[in-house]
Structure 1
Amino acid sequence: MPPPDTPGTSAVPCRVSIVIKALNEEKRIVAAVESALAAVRRVGGEVVLADSCSSDRTVALASAYPIRIVQLARADERCCGVGPQLGYQHSAGEFVYILDGDMEMLPGFLPEALAFMQAHPEVAGVGGQVVEMNTSSLEYVARVERGLGHMQAGQVDRLDMGGLYRRAAVEQAGYFSDRNLHSYEEFDLAMRLHARGWKLWRLALDSVRHHGHDAPPYQLLMRRWRSRYICGLGEVLRAAWGESHLGLVLTKVRELRLYVAVLGWWLVLVAVLGVPMPWTLRMLAFAGIAAAPVVLMAWRKRSARKAVFSVVSWCFNAAGLVRGLLTPQRPARAAIDSIEIRNTL
């Protein structure tokens, strides 16, 4: 395994590395690999599969193709941040694209993105438009309702859902993705890049098809609690503490203020229980304060069901924020222990 500051091992210059991060993606991995190979064929480069110890046929299916395959040495290190960094650690490209295992690269994006970055040397990363295939999923509906500005064309503050990055910029930022993060890994990279003066851009051009995963809303919340996905924001804050990008993290995450407000709401509810007043009045005050957010959201969303889910989701995320803040972290710059399963060189 090459050390993290020595990308790849090839003596031949590599233009683009597409890193596919995957965990149990046997249904989609063939389409992801074939689309990535077709994409690099047009611009020159390599495809690296970074597998997080899949227990299905993901690696076996991918092994039929001329790509590099690396895998985590320890399954207990699985998280959203470790896959991209593992792939980056084994890549050689001057530019690096991160592709999820349930995505497919679309033809035409990489040449346009490379041309844009060549013309704009101040830009560290370029994304495109994400074509969602599962438009009924909770994630998709919530994203549409929020109307996220960073998913629109133009200069953006982050590149969620993948992007093409300039290796020189990533090296300045210290590392590609923080191995400790269970979510918010693209946001963390973006803040470290912005703190060093780099810009990010999203083109008005389709870049990937995303199939995504879905589950019933409350089941999804429980899954994210168990997987620690919901702890990502707290982990980002902990990692940024004392660093140059802390101010950006505190001001750029709109939901952070919401989750802090939820924690304040909990404190008020606890305080009400200790107020010296008749028990009946105390319970009425508690019930009124507890119900207020649900009533407000029901009015805004015109749906009691959506309102209850929103408030429950806030509570899970607020608890995850605290959990992430309190979780010890490994050094983000340390090399990730891995096994090289297949090397095309």
Structure 2
Amino acid sequence: MSIAAIVIGRNEGARLIACLDALQGVAHVIYVDSGSTDGSVAAAQARGTQVVSLDMSRPFTAARARNSGLAALPEGTELVQFLDGDCVMQDGWISTAQKFLSKHTDVAVVCGRRREMHPEASVYNSLIDTEWNTPVGQAKACGGDALMRVKPLRAIGGYREDLIAGEEPELCLRLRQAGWQIWRLDEEMTAHDAQITKLGQWWNRSKRAGHAFAEGARLHGAAPERHWVKETRRALLWGAVGPVAIAVLTAAVGPLGLLAALAYPAQVLRLSRRDGLVPAFFSVLGKFAEAQGALGYYWRRLTSGQKRLIEYK
């Protein structure tokens, strides 16, 4: 089966070079650039990579960048490996994934293990490395790195371009509704360089997740999918309703109302039995950022405001 790769990025610098160099065994590589000013386009062209420059007069989304790469694929391409420009493909992955798809004709998307390059650099990188470690086997969704069949991808219209986050799970949901399967293999796929070293970066990433939860629930929250309904409810309950309820209770009964805030350390302790203390703490803290993202999404819908990309790097 003929294979191509689509890489998206902006100002990735040395990370993009490492990404492209790891794809030298792929017959055709397309790099979709979203307004880089660091020489990324020239670096990609110097490696023989086809470059697609995204029209930046329109709001950027990763989904639109991936669709632009998809539109530029050579005629007859059967499989496409999507990859973010801050990732490096692991040796043997594409061959392994291709063999799996050859044997499983009802599978449209296959992904493997994405790891953080430097999980020791910060607690945030470590948390993300754990987050990437999703269960092996048939799955509901993939991340930004995955090998996909081109034909079913085009048949459902590709990525939904107006989503600023959560575009891969939404795509996979529509593929599953069309009768296709998504699989995660117990194989090394990519190394990712998050470079999240500050609380503000992690907060914005969690905020973006909350936005994705709320929008995903609005689009596909009905049964049987109930897409991201629970995640949205948890974010709003712990990150918005809880603090307001504590404030109202304290105003009504005085300082004793603050005792209700003990629900948060209690939740951390409960989650720590399964995940460990540090991940549990950040899971609960992250609900405030997720609620901020979800409420921001609802506010923009209410006021007909334009979606804005929530960046953390």
Determine if contact 2:45/2:51 at 8 Å carries over to the other structure: yes
CA contact (8 A) 2:44 2:50 kept: no
Distance 1:134 1:248, change over 3 A: farther
Residue 284 (str. 1) matches residue 271 (str. 2) = no
User: Displacement, 1:312?
Assistant: 3.5
Q: Which has the larger displacement, 86-95 or 193-202?
A: 86-95
One-letter amino acid of the counterpart of residue 119, structure 2: T
1:81 alignment partner, SS class: helix
Is the Cα contact below 8 Å between 1:96 and 1:167 reproduced in 2?
A: yes
Does the 8 Å contact 2:214/2:297 carry over to 1?
A: yes
Is 1:32 equivalent to 2:19 in the alignment?
yes
| Equivalent in the alignment of 2:309 | none
Please name the residue that 2:212 is paired with.
232
Please say if 1:163 is aligned against 2:146: yes
Q: How does 1:6-17 map to 2 (within 5 A)?
A: 15-17=2-4
Give me the identity figure in percent. 24
CA drift at 1:314: 0.8
Q: TM-score, normalised by structure 2?
A: 0.81
Alignment of 1:89-128 (within 5 A): 89-92=71-74, 93-128=77-112
User: Which structure has the larger Rg?
Assistant: 1
Tell me, in whole angstroms, the C-alpha distance in 2 between the residues paired with 1:143 and 1:153. 17
Counterpart code for 1:154: G
TM superposition shift of 1:127: 1.0
Contact 2:116 2:126 in 1 (8 A): no
User: Per-residue deviation at 1:26?
Assistant: 0.8
Give secondary structure in 2 for the equivalent of 1:36: coil
Deviation at 1:311, TM superposition (A): 3.7
Matches within 5 A, 1:176-187: 177-187=159-169
Indicate conservation of the 8 Å contact 1:19/1:99, yes or no. yes
Aligned partner of 2:40 in structure 1 is 58
Q: How many residues align?
A: 297
3-state DSSP class of the match of 1:37?
coil
> Of residues 246, 258, 266 in structure 1, which corresponds to 2:234?
258
Q: Could you say if the C-alpha distance between residues 230 and 299 of structure 1 is closer, same or farther in structure 2, counting changes exceeding 3 Å?
A: closer
RMSD between aligned alpha carbons? 3.1
1:154 equivalent in structure 2: 137
CA deviation after TM superposition for structure 1 residue 317, in Å:
0.4
Taking a change above 3 Å as real, the CA distance of residues 63 and 119 of structure 1, as seen in their structure-2 partners, is same
Q: Residues 248-274 of structure 1, C-alpha deviation per residue, up to 9 Å, x if partnerless?
A: 652566533421322432453354367
- Aligned twin of 1:133: 117
Shift of residue 124 of structure 1?
Answer: 0.7
- Cα pair 2:117 2:191 within 8 Å, conserved: yes
Distance, in Å, in 1 between the alignment partners of 2:80 and 2:300 is 30
Highest RCO, 1 vs 2 (Cα 8 Å, sep ≥ 6): 1
Judged with a 3 Å threshold, the aligned counterparts in structure 2 of structure 1 residues 169 and 22 are, in CA distance, closer, same or farther, namely same
On the 8 A contact 2:206/2:290 being kept in 1, the answer is no
CA contact (8 A) 1:183 1:230 kept: no
- 2:63 is matched with 81
Q: Is the alpha carbon distance of 1:132 and 1:321 closer, same or farther for their aligned partners in structure 2, counting shifts above 3 Å?
A: same
Gapped regions of structure 2 (runs ≥ 5)? 306-313
Rounded Cα–Cα distance in structure 2 between residues aligned with 1:66 and 1:282: 69
Alignment partner of 1:142 is 2:105: no
Unaligned stretches of 5+ residues in structure 1: 1-13, 276-280, 331-345
> Does residue 174 in structure 1 map to residue 152 in structure 2?
no
CA contact (8 A) 1:130 1:161 kept: no
- Letter aligned with residue 20 of structure 1: V
2:22 match: secondary structure: helix
- Are the counterparts in 1 of residues 35 and 54 from structure 2 also a CA contact under 8 Å? yes
**What is the TM-score with the length of structure 1 in the denominator?**
0.74
Q: Deviations for 1:127-172, whole angstroms, at most 9, x for unmatched residues?
A: 1222431112444422465685xx2332122112411111122123
Deviation at 1:223, TM superposition (A): 6.9
Instruction: Give the drift of 1:76.
Output: 5.8
**Amino acid in the other structure paired with 1:292:** A
